[in-house]
Structure 1
Amino acid sequence: MKRLSSLNQLLLTIQHIYINTFALFIKKETVTYHCPVNFLATQNTVVFNILDDGAVGDGIHDNTDSIRRTILRATDHQAPCTVLVPGGDFLTGSLQIPSNVTFYLAANATLRASDNASHYSCVPSMTSDTGPCDYPFLLVDHAHDVHLRGEGRIDAGANSPPGHLVREYRPASNMLIPTEWKLPNCSYYSCRPKLLVVRYSSSVELTNITIMNSPLWTVTIVESENILFDHVTIVGDRRWPNNDGIDLINSRHVTIRNSNITTGDDCIAIMSHGPSSMFNITVENMDLQSTSAGIKVSAYERNSTGDMYDMVFRNVRINDTNRGLCVAPRWGSGRIANLLFEQMSIETRFFGLDWWGTAEPIYITGLSANAERAWTGLMKNVTFRHIVARGEQGFLVRGNTSILQDIYFSNVSLTIARWSNVSEHPSLDYRPSQEPQTSQANVDGLFAMDTNGLYLENIEIEYSEPKQYYYGQCLNISNVTQLIKTNIQCRNANFLTSGQTNWKAIDKIVIVFFFVILALFIILL
């Protein structure tokens, strides 16, 4: 028994080193947020300076008309050109950026959003949760070849200065309740401006720019293609609901890279809200922090019939976040397929039930929102590999056998620990769902249910000391067909596993190989 125990310990140690070594290869690139000083001088472009149209950068003067005049001059130029926002604090109402324009914010430039509702106009919305109208601060509509860049920043003023646009503070959940604006044709709980909306456009780039303090979604990309985010910083108050970083809606050929996003709501949300397909989405070399989800893929509209496929998320660091990776359609009938999440580090903690999620590093569910809002689509071929995770909750995979299939975990390690100061312990959270919204349950390393095809390879799960009373099982698996497990290691769980054990050929090969090695080891001794 001592020899067997020593061999097991040796194998466990080797696997632990192998899996966690991948954390060293999650590349942390040095991100700089500036353009060369002589950027404009090196560009073969005509520059229109907003100062020439009377703009005043004192943070008080209303520059709406002045900046709109500058943009109109750029439009009339009818050739690629640049609108320059020089150093200063420029208060303005909503602006629309046309085709072939680079909107450049120089060093020490701030474009500050007005809080005067009359400065905003209705743009038809694609989402039922915001009502018929969106009210964007910046709009790119049916345009092409638009660039937002520079060393400056765009500030929409949510809780900046502290208390601005704040109606209430809830200390128990550390949540700010925003002021709802008096705007027509919008939902009460989402009646406030979005910072930037890009709709029905192509070849739009955001580079090197800082975008901050949005009252609602920060950047929304709707029915657009060939979109690039590169070296972008998005900052939102961690206590502010619905201030998502980037929302992609029915768009394709999108790259988000080398950027930093901190928000109260989802950092990156990829959503189907119509019949158009979404594909060729790449997210890489990112730093994300959220009181909601780091990355979310979902569908939540009656007409969410478009397919979502061929998406790659790699080299992402998610820290101090309520939910790490989330794939959770709730309404519609499209297909979600071929999603790859790889080379990631994830750290999650529980922020309390006022926020959706209970610190799940990986959360994949295919459930219906309610009887009237049903999800009848297919989710297939979702892969998580080379991931190092630490969280207060385990992984969760839940669906219906007919619509959730072929989920892969490979070379994944998870450490479960307790470090938040929230009084209640993490529970199962299916919101929004016709299932019980939340339910008390033990924290399992992997809870999987109602799935067709679950493949687990080189998985390490450890429960940290001190052991909590709600620690559950390493694997809690039920109603899963085609379950294949290879090299599962678990430490300090109350139980190793429950549910079905499906001995496939690969399991048998591993067992035979193990005993052959053991026999050779004994003979050599």
Structure 2
Amino acid sequence: MEVLLLFLAVFVALTSLNVVESRKTPVLEYFEYCAVNCRAYSASLTDFGGVGDGETLNTKAFQTAIDHLSQYSSNGGSQLYVPPGRWLTGSFNVTSHFTLFIHKDAVILGSQDENDWPVIDPLPSYGRGRDTQGGRFRSLIFGTNLTDVIITGDNGTLDGQGELWWQKFHHGQLSYTRPYLIEIMYSDNIQISNLTLVNSPSWNVHPVYSSNVIVQGITILAPVNSPNTDGINPDSCTNTRIEDCYIVSGDDCVAVKSGWDEYGIAYGMPTKQLVIRRLTCISPTSAVIALGSEMSGGIEDVRAEDIVAINSESGVRIKTAVGRGGYVKDIYVRRMTMKTMKWAFWMTGDYGSHADNNYDPNALPVVQNVNYRDMVADNVTMAAKLEGISNAPFTGICISNVTIGLAKKAKKVPWNCTDIAGISSGVTPSPCDLLPDQGVQKIGACTFPEDNLPIEDIKVQTCTYYRRKL
């Protein structure tokens, strides 16, 4: 009995001690989010001297934090939390097996000082910068030769403060190509999700030479007259999924690319196995989905569905030219709704400038097996402008179950077709003679693959972040 009483006394004492200690334990900062992979180690930007006042430059804080966390890349990975505040920074690098999480009340502001943006070489598949002959400013968030990178949040914001860059572009004052907001190169297993991107100096999201890429739940906002503010540009990428995004842009909402003229041909890395779905786009001067014009490495197996286009120049646009080489093939688009468009469909073999004068004039692009089905459009100026190349016509075009309501001031001839070949079925207004009607019995003629691409089978999981408040 004495032993039992002694045990109970010790137990009560220890319990009381634990209660006292628990009252002293700092409150945990804790939240959950969805990601492809979770991390074992966590830190906040404020742990590394970050100041979110909108004026203090945080480039060193970001880079020091990420460099420190990189030590955990082979031991469970790490995550960096950007808390509420306005975090001014220049370009910084991310690392492998790493998550950057941006709080909904956090804004990462791109510096207005060119000195905060390192200059890097042109992309090898382009041979030069897009704005200038020379190099290019590195993106705000940059990574190369990485594995397993997640840039996400609960709708936190990246603000590129692009007005200064747009004015320099318009006035010819750029020494190098403008920076993007996010660029990941030569990497595998990338997730970019649940963020708002505003006022990018140029393109917003640019995965290039990468594979297994998910871009999901992104809102992109830019003035519709801002130059080259493309939304999402998968470039020489394999196995990519773009979904549930809302984009207002001064250029194409999604622009699929793979290199420019002889440089893209030599690099020879196509964009393929691309899924685009549940996208809403507003772009009065450009396309909702553009293929090209830099497509010299090839574009194939693109599957787009459940797309909403509002007040945009064209719904689906294929852009190429003599000298591009490469190919655009096996393109499948279905269930697209368009409201107030200049063209529903546009293809051209005479688009865009060249990287230099060394392109091969005999490098003719191939465009074949392009399928559009189950679409409705209203208030459209012209149904389609389909212009191939005289000695390299675009072939295998199929348009089925498409109704296009023309605007009051629509063109008298709704279809303009040259140097193309294909079929149609159940299309209003009636297409051009180069797309002969196969009759209502062929209304489902245009195919759409029913198998899943590997990227579609990748699932997210619930991850947690926590740290002790000091």
Q: TM-score, normalised to structure 1's length?
A: 0.69
Which of 410, 415, 421 pairs up with 1:446?
415
Specify the alignment match of 2:51 in structure 1.
Answer: 56
Contact in 1 for aligned 2:337/2:377 (Cα 8 Å) = yes
TM-superposed CA distance for 1:458, in Å, is: 0.5
Q: Distance in 2 between matches of 1:65 and 1:457?
A: 60
- Write the distance in 1 (CA, Å) between the matches of 2:273 and 2:423: 25
8 Å CA contact 1:397, 1:448 repeated in 2: yes
Q: Aligned AA for 2:437?
A: K
Structure 2 distance, partners of 1:343, 1:56, is 47
Match of 2:437, SS state, is strand
How much does 1:307 deviate? 2.7
Distance 1:259 1:368 in 2: 27
* Equivalent residues, number: 387
Match of 1:408 among 398, 409, 422: 398
Residue identity opposite 1:293 in structure 2: A
1:346/1:389 contact within 8 Å kept: yes
Report the Cα offset of residue 230 of structure 1: 1.2
Pick one of 110, 135, 144 that aligns with 1:133: 135
Q: CA deviation at 1:300?
A: 3.1
Q: Which residue of 1 aligns with 2:298?
A: 307
Is the 8 Å Cα contact of residues 191 and 214 (structure 2) preserved in structure 1? Answer: yes
Q: 1:220 to 1:418 in 2, by over 3 A?
A: farther
* Shift in alpha-carbon separation, 1:338–1:98, aligned structure 2, 3 A: same
Residue 369 of structure 1 and its aligned partner are, at CA, apart by 5.3
Q: Deviations over 1:86-106 (max 9, x none)?
A: 111110111111111100001
Amino acid aligned to 2:388:
G
Distance 1:286 1:70 in 2: 34
What is the aligned partner in structure 2 of residue 167 from structure 1? 167
Asked whether the equivalents of residues 324 and 347 of structure 1 are also in contact (C-alpha less than 8 Å), the reply is no
State the secondary structure of the residue aligned to 2:398.
Answer: strand
Cα separation, 2, equivalents of 1:74 and 1:89: 22
Question: SS state of the match for residue 95, structure 2?
Answer: coil
Tell me if structure 1 keeps the 8 A contact 2:166–2:227. Answer: no
**What is the CA–CA distance in structure 2 between the aligned matches of 1:105 and 1:200, rounded to whole Å?**
24
Cα distance, 1:122 vs. partner? 1.7
Equivalent position to 1:145, from 118, 132, 148: 148
The answer to whether the 8 A contact 2:204-2:229 is kept is yes
Using the alignment, how far apart are the partners of 2:306 and 2:166 within structure 1?
35
Counterpart of 2:250 (choices 245, 264, 267) is 264
Distance in 2 between the 1:121 and 1:156 partners?
Answer: 15
Which TM-score applies when normalising by structure 2?
Answer: 0.77
* Residues in 1 aligned to 2:188 and 2:39: alpha-carbon distance in whole angstroms: 22
In 2, Cα distance between equivalents of 1:341 and 1:100: 34
Contact 1:361 1:394 in 2 (8 A): yes
Amino acid at match of 1:111: I
Query: Take 1:103 and 1:155, find their aligned partners in 2: how far apart are those partners?
Result: 16
Q: 1:265 to 1:245 in 2, by over 3 A?
A: same
Q: How do residues 103-502 of structure 1 correspond to structure 2 at under 5 angstroms?
A: 103-126=100-123, 127=126, 128=128, 129-130=130-131, 131-135=133-137, 136-151=139-154, 152-159=156-163, 165=165, 167=167, 178=170, 183=175, 186=176, 191-273=177-259, 274=264, 275-291=268-284, 292-300=286-294, 304=296, 306-330=297-321, 331-349=323-341, 359-367=342-350, 374=361, 376-390=364-378, 391-400=380-389, 402-418=392-408, 442-451=411-420, 453-461=421-429, 475-477=431-433, 480=434, 483-487=435-439
Q: Is the CA contact (8 Å cut-off) linking 1:153 and 1:211 kept in structure 2?
A: yes
Partner amino acid, structure 1, of 2:382: Q
CA distance in 1, matches of 2:134, 2:353: 22
Cα distance change, pair 449–109 in 1 and its aligned pair in 2 (3 A): same
- Matched residues in 2 for 1:155 and 1:100: separation? 25
Q: What one-letter code is carried by the residue in structure 1 that aligns with 2:134? A: P
User: 1:398 is matched by which residue type in structure 2?
Assistant: E
Does the 8 Å CA contact 1:444/1:476 hold for their aligned counterparts?
A: no
Task: Tell me, yes or no, if the aligned pair for 1:314 and 1:342 is still in contact at 8 Å.
Answer: yes
Offset, 1:48: 1.6
* Superposed displacement of residue 365, structure 1: 2.2
Per-residue deviation, residues 113-158 of structure 1 (Å, max 9, x unmatched): 1011111112222234233322111101111100001121111112
Q: Which runs of 5+ in 1 are unaligned?
A: 1-35, 169-176, 350-358, 420-425, 427-441, 462-473, 489-504, 507-525
Aligned to 1:140, what secondary structure does the other structure show? strand
> 1:68 — aligned with what?
63
After superposing the two structures, state which structure 1 stretch, 377-386 or 132-141, moved more.
Answer: 132-141
What is the CA distance between 1:77 and its match in structure 2?
2.7
RMSD: 2.6
Q: What amino acid sits opposite 1:365 in the alignment?
A: T
What's the CA shift for 1:296?
A: 0.2
Cα distance change, pair 281–38 in 1 and its aligned pair in 2 (3 A): closer
| TM-aligned CA distance change 1:102 to 1:181, over 3 Å | farther
**Structure 2 CA distance for aligned equivalents of residues 256 and 115 of structure 1:** 30
Match of 2:40 in 1: 45
Q: Which has the higher contact order (CA 8 A, sep 6+)?
A: 2
User: What residue in structure 2 maps to residue 439 of structure 1?
Assistant: none
Tell me if the contact between 1:444 and 1:475 (Cα under 8 Å) persists in the aligned partners. no
Residues 148, 207 of structure 1: 8 Å contact kept: yes
The answer to whether the 8 Å contact 1:230/1:256 transfers is yes
**What displacement does 1:475 show?**
4.5
Q: For the residues of structure 1 that align with 2:349 and 2:195, how far apart are their CA atoms?
A: 36
Instruction: Write the deviation string for residues 357-412 of structure 1: whole angstroms up to 9, x where unpaired.
Output: xx111112233658965450211110110011121222121113634111001001
